[in-house]
Structure 1
Amino acid sequence: MTFTKTLLGASALTLLAAPALAAMSVTATTNLNVRSGPGPQYPVTTIIGVDQSAVLDGCIDNSKWCQVEVGGVAGWAYSEYLVADYSGERTVVYQNQATIGVPVITYDNPDGVVAAGPVAGTISAGTVVGDVIEPAPTTRTYIEANPVDQVYLDGEVVVGGTLPPDVDLYEVPEGQYRYVYINGQEVLVTPDTRQIVYVYR
């Protein structure tokens, strides 16, 4: 990931990134965070819903972070969960940026945002196994009353993602899941597979 002084804000990125190219439409394969900057340390500003469309402005070279626009809000999304139509096929953006002609953009950090903590590993991408759960309200109440240390991981917090083995998980009394704070969000995890089954928003 490269951070340069070429831009003054997110809105300038579109102008720099090959203005001759038409805007590219992409779709999220899961409920996907849109953050204020290209990284897990930046706050979430909105989400792209599963199968919802967004406009892709471009991606940082050698990075999975791309600038998108959804519902009038510009921000950054993790391209492992973005697909574009290419020759009639749904094509994952991060695997095929050059093939589908995604503009390469750079990011200037105008506000001097620094990562809020060290990155401790990577969230492995995965698919949802089983039914989508709906936790009891008492689970959220317990989590909020018993905060634990924040952990930052490369990747994005999505249902189906898998946490690395060195991330501590915390019990919910009389509950089958564990909880942890990842990249600014509370998540529930299956303890045996370490797979995220619910993201609190």
Structure 2
Amino acid sequence: MSLKRNLLLAGVILAGSAGLAQADMSATTATDIEVRSGPGAEFPTVGVATRGSEATLDGCIEGSRWCRVDVNGMRGWVYAQYLSVEQNGASVVVQDHRDDLGVPTVTYEQTDPLKTGSVQAPQPGPNDQLLGSVDQNGNDVVAITPPEEIRTYIDDNPVDAVQLNGDVAVGAEVPQSVEVHRIPDYQYSYVEVNHQPVLVDPGTRRIVYVYR
């Protein structure tokens, strides 16, 4: 692992001792996920890894859901609950089996932004509407695969887009003030957030699918 590649992430990555003797792990993305340049929603998005993409898992930050991966030519950070690894012939979620899988521990140390030229993400104002954080209370949100006719219905029945601060990702909660729109004969509703159509569980208001 070269220092040059690490600096491209505007930080220095240090592998924990538990992972030094271990080879990189192979993982698969469980849904479409945003790959970020650092371990946090405030970091810029490098790109989107589509569902089922093969990834190389370097390791995860201890006590955090963020893991560093190489996927589809991108190097960055993703949520551990959206990565799966083969274990004894079965696919298991990295977040739920980190100890069993022996996932290496990595740390992230951000370098001085004045030296790297990086720009700090703007903070939302007190009156800005926010997407709720991804559910971390054990209520795992399972990403769905909607039928093609659902996208056709959404395209044929456009709604006004809403602008919200936050990460448009599976598991994020849509504020109560935002109207979600029913789809006939379908259990999920839809809304357009930041010009991206998303499917929402009307009961929990959690996003279950993001159309890219």
Percentage identity across aligned positions?
Answer: 32
Aligned twin of 1:16:
15
Alignment partner, residue 43 of structure 2: 42
- CA gap 1:167/1:149 in 2 versus in 1, 3 angstroms: farther
Q: Partners in 2 of 1:122 and 1:23 — Cα distance? A: 29
1:169/1:191 contact within 8 Å kept: no
Paired AA for residue 16 in structure 1: A
Secondary structure of the residue aligned to 2:109 is coil
Q: Which amino acid aligns with 2:173?
A: L
One-letter code aligned to 2:120: V
Q: Counterpart in 2 of 1:179?
A: 191
Give, in whole Å, the separation in 2 of the partners of 1:137 and 1:116.
33
Q: 1:33 to 1:193 in 2, by over 3 A?
A: same
What is the count of residue pairs matched by the alignment? 183
Structure 1 residue aligned with 2:101: 100
Residue 55 of structure 1 deviates from its aligned partner by 0.4
Deviations along 1:157-185, one digit per CA (max 9) or x if unpaired, are: 12xx3626x5432356x977442537x96
Q: Residues 91 and 179 (structure 1 numbering): CA distance in 2 closer, same or farther, change over 3 Å? A: same
Gaps of 5+ in 2: 1-5, 112-117
- Alpha carbons 1:34, 1:47 under 8 Å: kept: yes
Aligned to 1:123: 134
8 Å CA contact retained: 2:31, 2:50:
yes
Aligned to 2:177: 168
Name the TM-score, length of structure 1 as normaliser.
0.70
Match of 1:179, as an amino acid?
V
Aligned to 1:134, the other structure's residue is in SS state: helix
Q: Which has the larger radius of gyration?
A: 2
Task: Find runs of 4+ consecutive structure 1 residues off by over 4 angstroms.
Answer: none
User: Which 5+ residue runs of structure 1 have no aligned equivalent?
Assistant: 1-6
1:1-201 aligned at under 5 Å gives the runs 8=7, 10=9, 12-13=12-13, 16-17=15-16, 18-110=19-111, 111=118, 113-114=120-121, 116-117=123-124, 121-124=132-135, 125-128=140-143, 131-132=146-147, 133-135=150-152, 136-137=154-155, 142-143=159-160, 146=161, 148-152=162-166, 157-158=169-170, 161=171, 163=173, 166-170=175-179, 177-179=189-191, 181=193, 187-201=198-212
Deviation string 1:94-115 (CA, Å, 9 cap, x unpaired) is 1222221111111123336346
Provide the rounded CA distance (Å) in 2 between the counterparts of 1:85 and 1:194: 31
| Contact 1:28 1:83 (8 Å CA) reproduced | yes
RMSD (Å) for aligned C-alpha atoms: 3.4
Query: 1 or 2 for the larger relative contact order (CA 8 Å, sep ≥6)?
Result: 1
Kept in 2, the 8 Å contact 1:27–1:54? The answer is yes
For residues 162 and 113 of structure 1, do their structure 2 counterparts lie closer, same or farther at Cα, with a shift above 3 Å needed? closer
What TM-score results when the alignment is normalised by the length of structure 2? 0.67
